[in-house]
Structure 1
Amino acid sequence: MTKLADHLTIGQVAERSGVPHTALRFYEDRGLIHAERSAGNQRRFPRSVLRRIAFIRAAQRVGLSLEQIGEALATLPHDHAPTKADWARLSRTWRAELDARIDALQRLRDQLTGCVGCGCLSLRTCALNNPDDRIARYGPGAPVLKPSAEGGL
Protein backbone atom coordinates (compact mmCIF):
# COMPACT_ATOMS: atom_id res chain seq x y z
CA MET A 1 0.00 0.00 0.00
CA THR A 2 1.28 3.47 -0.82
CA LYS A 3 1.66 6.29 1.65
CA LEU A 4 -1.83 7.75 2.04
CA ALA A 5 -0.77 11.06 3.61
CA ASP A 6 -0.18 12.60 0.18
CA HIS A 7 -3.52 11.34 -1.16
CA LEU A 8 -6.78 13.28 -1.33
CA THR A 9 -9.99 12.62 0.58
CA ILE A 10 -13.24 12.25 -1.32
CA GLY A 11 -14.22 15.75 -0.15
CA GLN A 12 -11.00 17.22 -1.51
CA VAL A 13 -11.46 15.42 -4.82
CA ALA A 14 -15.07 16.62 -5.03
CA GLU A 15 -14.00 20.20 -4.34
CA ARG A 16 -11.05 20.17 -6.74
CA SER A 17 -12.89 18.41 -9.57
CA GLY A 18 -16.33 19.97 -9.17
CA VAL A 19 -17.84 16.48 -9.21
CA PRO A 20 -20.24 15.52 -6.40
CA HIS A 21 -19.33 12.82 -3.88
CA THR A 22 -22.09 10.61 -5.25
CA ALA A 23 -20.66 10.72 -8.76
CA LEU A 24 -17.18 9.90 -7.44
CA ARG A 25 -18.54 6.86 -5.62
CA PHE A 26 -20.39 5.85 -8.80
CA TYR A 27 -17.22 6.21 -10.89
CA GLU A 28 -15.35 4.11 -8.34
CA ASP A 29 -18.06 1.43 -8.37
CA ARG A 30 -17.80 1.32 -12.17
CA GLY A 31 -14.01 0.97 -12.00
CA LEU A 32 -13.33 4.32 -13.68
CA ILE A 33 -11.35 5.65 -10.72
CA HIS A 34 -9.64 3.89 -7.84
CA ALA A 35 -9.18 4.75 -4.20
CA GLU A 36 -7.25 3.12 -1.43
CA ARG A 37 -8.64 2.83 2.08
CA SER A 38 -7.18 4.38 5.20
CA ALA A 39 -6.93 2.54 8.50
CA GLY A 40 -10.34 4.07 9.30
CA ASN A 41 -11.74 2.70 5.99
CA GLN A 42 -11.95 6.15 4.39
CA ARG A 43 -11.31 6.61 0.68
CA ARG A 44 -7.97 8.14 -0.28
CA PHE A 45 -7.36 9.04 -3.90
CA PRO A 46 -4.02 9.64 -5.61
CA ARG A 47 -3.74 13.15 -7.01
CA SER A 48 -3.66 11.72 -10.54
CA VAL A 49 -7.36 10.88 -10.14
CA LEU A 50 -8.13 14.52 -10.94
CA ARG A 51 -6.93 14.03 -14.52
CA ARG A 52 -8.97 10.86 -14.86
CA ILE A 53 -12.07 12.68 -13.65
CA ALA A 54 -11.46 15.57 -16.04
CA PHE A 55 -11.11 13.03 -18.85
CA ILE A 56 -14.33 11.25 -17.82
CA ARG A 57 -16.29 14.50 -17.75
CA ALA A 58 -14.93 15.66 -21.12
CA ALA A 59 -15.71 12.29 -22.71
CA GLN A 60 -19.23 12.37 -21.29
CA ARG A 61 -19.78 15.87 -22.68
CA VAL A 62 -19.07 14.65 -26.21
CA GLY A 63 -21.47 11.75 -25.76
CA LEU A 64 -19.19 8.80 -25.09
CA SER A 65 -20.68 6.09 -22.91
CA LEU A 66 -19.28 5.13 -19.53
CA GLU A 67 -18.48 1.73 -21.04
CA GLN A 68 -16.34 3.36 -23.75
CA ILE A 69 -14.70 5.58 -21.17
CA GLY A 70 -13.98 2.61 -18.91
CA GLU A 71 -12.44 0.63 -21.78
CA ALA A 72 -10.17 3.55 -22.59
CA LEU A 73 -9.16 4.18 -18.98
CA ALA A 74 -8.37 0.48 -18.57
CA THR A 75 -5.48 0.99 -21.01
CA LEU A 76 -3.84 3.52 -18.69
CA PRO A 77 -1.45 2.53 -15.89
CA HIS A 78 -2.97 2.07 -12.43
CA ASP A 79 0.27 2.15 -10.45
CA HIS A 80 1.35 5.66 -11.49
CA ALA A 81 0.04 8.79 -13.18
CA PRO A 82 -0.35 8.40 -16.95
CA THR A 83 2.31 10.03 -19.07
CA LYS A 84 1.73 12.44 -21.94
CA ALA A 85 2.35 9.52 -24.31
CA ASP A 86 -0.33 7.44 -22.52
CA TRP A 87 -2.89 10.22 -22.97
CA ALA A 88 -1.88 10.76 -26.62
CA ARG A 89 -2.27 7.05 -27.39
CA LEU A 90 -5.68 6.99 -25.74
CA SER A 91 -6.92 10.07 -27.60
CA ARG A 92 -5.79 8.66 -30.97
CA THR A 93 -8.08 5.67 -30.50
CA TRP A 94 -11.11 7.97 -30.33
CA ARG A 95 -10.31 10.29 -33.20
CA ALA A 96 -12.44 8.45 -35.79
CA GLU A 97 -15.35 8.15 -33.34
CA LEU A 98 -15.22 11.85 -32.51
CA ASP A 99 -14.92 12.82 -36.18
CA ALA A 100 -18.04 10.75 -36.95
CA ARG A 101 -19.93 12.42 -34.11
CA ILE A 102 -18.87 15.87 -35.30
CA ASP A 103 -20.05 15.02 -38.82
CA ALA A 104 -23.42 13.77 -37.50
CA LEU A 105 -23.91 16.90 -35.39
CA GLN A 106 -23.07 19.19 -38.31
CA ARG A 107 -25.49 17.36 -40.59
CA LEU A 108 -28.19 17.51 -37.91
CA ARG A 109 -27.60 21.24 -37.46
CA ASP A 110 -27.70 21.89 -41.21
CA GLN A 111 -30.78 19.78 -41.90
CA LEU A 112 -32.78 21.08 -38.97
CA THR A 113 -31.91 24.70 -39.69
CA GLY A 114 -33.46 24.47 -43.15
CA CYS A 115 -36.54 22.67 -41.91
CA VAL A 116 -37.17 24.74 -38.81
CA GLY A 117 -36.10 27.90 -40.58
CA CYS A 118 -38.97 27.70 -43.07
CA GLY A 119 -41.46 27.20 -40.28
CA CYS A 120 -43.71 24.80 -42.18
CA LEU A 121 -42.14 21.39 -41.45
CA SER A 122 -43.48 20.37 -44.86
CA LEU A 123 -43.85 16.63 -45.31
CA ARG A 124 -43.17 17.05 -49.05
CA THR A 125 -39.74 18.68 -48.63
CA CYS A 126 -38.62 17.63 -45.14
CA ALA A 127 -35.47 15.48 -45.24
CA LEU A 128 -36.66 13.69 -42.11
CA ASN A 129 -39.97 12.60 -43.67
CA ASN A 130 -40.33 8.83 -44.05
CA PRO A 131 -43.34 7.88 -46.20
CA ASP A 132 -44.28 4.20 -46.03
CA ASP A 133 -41.44 3.66 -43.54
CA ARG A 134 -38.88 3.36 -46.38
CA ILE A 135 -36.02 4.20 -44.05
CA ALA A 136 -36.70 1.20 -41.78
CA ARG A 137 -34.29 -0.89 -43.85
CA TYR A 138 -31.43 1.29 -42.54
CA GLY A 139 -31.99 0.26 -38.92
CA PRO A 140 -33.50 1.67 -35.75
CA GLY A 141 -33.42 5.25 -34.57
CA ALA A 142 -32.85 8.17 -36.92
CA PRO A 143 -30.62 6.70 -39.64
CA VAL A 144 -30.90 9.82 -41.79
CA LEU A 145 -28.90 11.63 -39.12
CA LYS A 146 -26.33 8.89 -38.52
CA PRO A 147 -22.82 9.28 -39.96
CA SER A 148 -22.63 7.78 -43.44
CA ALA A 149 -20.26 5.05 -42.20
CA GLU A 150 -23.12 3.78 -40.04
CA GLY A 151 -25.62 3.53 -42.85
CA GLY A 152 -27.06 7.03 -42.97
CA LEU A 153 -28.43 8.45 -46.19
Structure 2
Amino acid sequence: MRLIDIAEVARLSGLPASTLRFYEEKGLIASSGRRGLRRVFDRDVLDRLSLVALGRSAGFSLDEIGGMLGHEDQPRIDRARLAAKADELDRTIRRLSALRDGLRHAAACPAPSHAECPTFRRLRTIAAARVRRSPLPT
Protein backbone atom coordinates (compact mmCIF):
# COMPACT_ATOMS: atom_id res chain seq x y z
CA MET A 1 0.00 0.00 0.00
CA ARG A 2 1.23 3.49 -0.81
CA LEU A 3 2.17 5.57 2.22
CA ILE A 4 1.53 9.29 2.28
CA ASP A 5 3.06 11.73 4.70
CA ILE A 6 1.13 13.94 7.07
CA ALA A 7 1.47 16.99 4.81
CA GLU A 8 -0.19 15.10 1.95
CA VAL A 9 -2.95 13.80 4.24
CA ALA A 10 -3.51 17.39 5.41
CA ARG A 11 -3.67 18.63 1.82
CA LEU A 12 -6.04 15.89 0.66
CA SER A 13 -8.31 15.99 3.71
CA GLY A 14 -8.32 19.76 4.22
CA LEU A 15 -7.44 19.25 7.88
CA PRO A 16 -4.44 20.89 9.52
CA ALA A 17 -1.60 18.61 10.61
CA SER A 18 -2.34 19.57 14.24
CA THR A 19 -5.84 18.09 13.89
CA LEU A 20 -4.40 14.92 12.37
CA ARG A 21 -1.98 14.57 15.28
CA PHE A 22 -4.86 15.14 17.72
CA TYR A 23 -6.99 12.51 15.95
CA GLU A 24 -4.06 10.13 16.20
CA GLU A 25 -3.77 10.80 19.94
CA LYS A 26 -7.52 10.08 20.29
CA GLY A 27 -7.10 6.79 18.41
CA LEU A 28 -9.27 7.84 15.48
CA ILE A 29 -6.45 7.33 12.98
CA ALA A 30 -3.09 5.60 13.16
CA SER A 31 0.16 6.42 11.44
CA SER A 32 2.15 3.63 9.87
CA GLY A 33 5.48 5.04 10.98
CA ARG A 34 7.71 7.90 10.02
CA ARG A 35 9.61 9.08 7.00
CA GLY A 36 12.31 11.19 8.55
CA LEU A 37 10.52 13.38 11.08
CA ARG A 38 7.12 13.19 9.37
CA ARG A 39 4.38 10.74 10.20
CA VAL A 40 3.25 8.58 7.30
CA PHE A 41 -0.17 7.01 6.85
CA ASP A 42 -1.74 4.34 4.68
CA ARG A 43 -3.87 5.97 2.02
CA ASP A 44 -7.02 4.46 3.62
CA VAL A 45 -6.63 7.04 6.40
CA LEU A 46 -8.61 9.33 4.09
CA ASP A 47 -11.60 6.97 4.32
CA ARG A 48 -11.41 7.03 8.12
CA LEU A 49 -11.16 10.81 8.10
CA SER A 50 -14.28 11.02 5.92
CA LEU A 51 -16.13 8.87 8.49
CA VAL A 52 -14.90 11.16 11.28
CA ALA A 53 -16.12 14.19 9.30
CA LEU A 54 -19.50 12.55 8.74
CA GLY A 55 -19.82 11.73 12.44
CA ARG A 56 -18.85 15.27 13.46
CA SER A 57 -21.35 16.80 11.04
CA ALA A 58 -24.06 14.59 12.57
CA GLY A 59 -23.14 15.88 16.03
CA PHE A 60 -21.31 12.87 17.44
CA SER A 61 -18.42 13.52 19.82
CA LEU A 62 -14.95 12.31 18.93
CA ASP A 63 -15.23 9.69 21.68
CA GLU A 64 -18.49 8.40 20.21
CA ILE A 65 -16.95 8.33 16.74
CA GLY A 66 -13.90 6.50 18.09
CA GLY A 67 -16.17 3.88 19.62
CA MET A 68 -17.89 3.32 16.30
CA LEU A 69 -14.69 3.24 14.26
CA GLY A 70 -12.84 0.89 16.57
CA HIS A 71 -9.40 -0.24 15.53
CA GLU A 72 -10.40 -2.61 12.74
CA ASP A 73 -10.78 -1.89 9.06
CA GLN A 74 -14.59 -1.94 9.22
CA PRO A 75 -16.47 0.45 11.50
CA ARG A 76 -18.90 -0.97 14.10
CA ILE A 77 -21.75 1.45 13.67
CA ASP A 78 -24.49 1.10 16.25
CA ARG A 79 -27.77 1.50 14.37
CA ALA A 80 -29.69 2.32 17.54
CA ARG A 81 -27.25 5.15 18.27
CA LEU A 82 -27.75 6.45 14.72
CA ALA A 83 -31.53 6.37 15.16
CA ALA A 84 -31.25 8.19 18.50
CA LYS A 85 -29.04 10.86 16.91
CA ALA A 86 -31.56 11.25 14.06
CA ASP A 87 -34.33 11.73 16.65
CA GLU A 88 -32.20 14.32 18.44
CA LEU A 89 -31.64 16.15 15.14
CA ASP A 90 -35.41 16.10 14.50
CA ARG A 91 -36.00 17.77 17.88
CA THR A 92 -33.33 20.37 17.13
CA ILE A 93 -34.81 21.06 13.70
CA ARG A 94 -38.28 21.56 15.21
CA ARG A 95 -36.89 23.89 17.88
CA LEU A 96 -34.86 25.92 15.38
CA SER A 97 -37.77 26.08 12.92
CA ALA A 98 -40.02 27.47 15.65
CA LEU A 99 -37.35 29.99 16.60
CA ARG A 100 -36.93 31.03 12.95
CA ASP A 101 -40.67 31.45 12.55
CA GLY A 102 -40.83 33.52 15.75
CA LEU A 103 -38.02 35.77 14.58
CA ARG A 104 -39.69 36.28 11.20
CA HIS A 105 -42.93 37.16 12.99
CA ALA A 106 -41.18 39.58 15.34
CA ALA A 107 -39.47 41.26 12.38
CA ALA A 108 -42.79 41.81 10.59
CA CYS A 109 -45.18 42.14 13.55
CA PRO A 110 -47.59 45.07 13.13
CA ALA A 111 -47.90 45.63 16.90
CA PRO A 112 -46.63 49.06 18.02
CA SER A 113 -44.02 47.37 20.23
CA HIS A 114 -42.87 43.81 20.71
CA ALA A 115 -44.08 43.97 24.32
CA GLU A 116 -47.64 44.26 22.96
CA CYS A 117 -47.32 41.33 20.56
CA PRO A 118 -48.88 38.13 21.98
CA THR A 119 -46.70 35.92 19.77
CA PHE A 120 -43.51 37.66 20.91
CA ARG A 121 -44.57 37.43 24.56
CA ARG A 122 -45.22 33.68 24.12
CA LEU A 123 -41.76 33.23 22.58
CA ARG A 124 -40.17 35.02 25.53
CA THR A 125 -42.04 32.78 27.97
CA ILE A 126 -40.88 29.64 26.14
CA ALA A 127 -37.27 30.89 26.00
CA ALA A 128 -37.30 31.77 29.70
CA ALA A 129 -38.60 28.29 30.57
CA ARG A 130 -35.77 26.69 28.57
CA VAL A 131 -33.18 28.79 30.40
CA ARG A 132 -34.62 27.72 33.75
CA ARG A 133 -34.48 24.04 32.72
CA SER A 134 -30.89 24.14 31.47
CA PRO A 135 -29.01 27.13 32.87
CA LEU A 136 -25.98 28.43 31.06
CA PRO A 137 -22.61 27.40 32.51
CA THR A 138 -20.99 29.96 34.76
Q: TM-score band, normalised by the shorter chain?
A: 0.7 to 0.9
Equivalent in 60, 66, 83 of residue 56 of structure 2: 60
Give the structure 2 partner of residue 44 of structure 1.
40
Partner of 1:149: none
Alignment of 1:63-82 (within 5 A): 63-74=59-70, 76-77=71-72, 81-82=73-74
TM-score, normalized by length of structure 2?
0.73
- Indicate the RMSD between aligned Cα atoms, in angstroms: 2.7
Cα separation, 1, equivalents of 2:43 and 2:80: 25
Gaps (5+ residues) in structure 2? 107-113
* Larger proportion of strand: 2
Match of 1:115 in 2: 102
Paired residue total: 124
SS of residue paired to 1:38? strand
Q: For the structure 1 residues 108 and 44, does the alpha-carbon distance in structure 2 shift closer, same or farther, using more than 3 Å as the test?
A: same
Q: Deviations over 1:47-73 (max 9, x none)?
A: 111011011112112221111111111
User: Displacement of 1:129 after TM fit?
Assistant: 3.9
Q: Which structure features the higher share of helix residues?
A: 2
Counterparts of 1:134 and 1:51, CA distance in 2: 40
Structure 1 residue runs of 4 or more that deviate by more than 6 Å after TM superposition: none
2:42 partner SS = coil
Query: 1:21-75 CA deviation, whole Å, 9 max, x = no partner?
Result: 111011111111001223635311111110110111121122211111111112x
Normalised by the length of structure 1, the TM-score is 0.67
Which is greater in Rg?
A: 2
Aligned to 1:128: 126
* Structure 2 SS opposite 1:128: helix
Equivalent position of 1:25 in the other structure: 21
- List runs of 5+ in structure 1 lacking aligned partners: 143-153
Contact 2:5-2:35 within 8 A present in 1 as well: no
1:134 shift after superposition: 8.9
2:134 corresponds in structure 1 to 140
User: Which amino acid counterpart does residue 79 of structure 2 have in structure 1?
Assistant: R
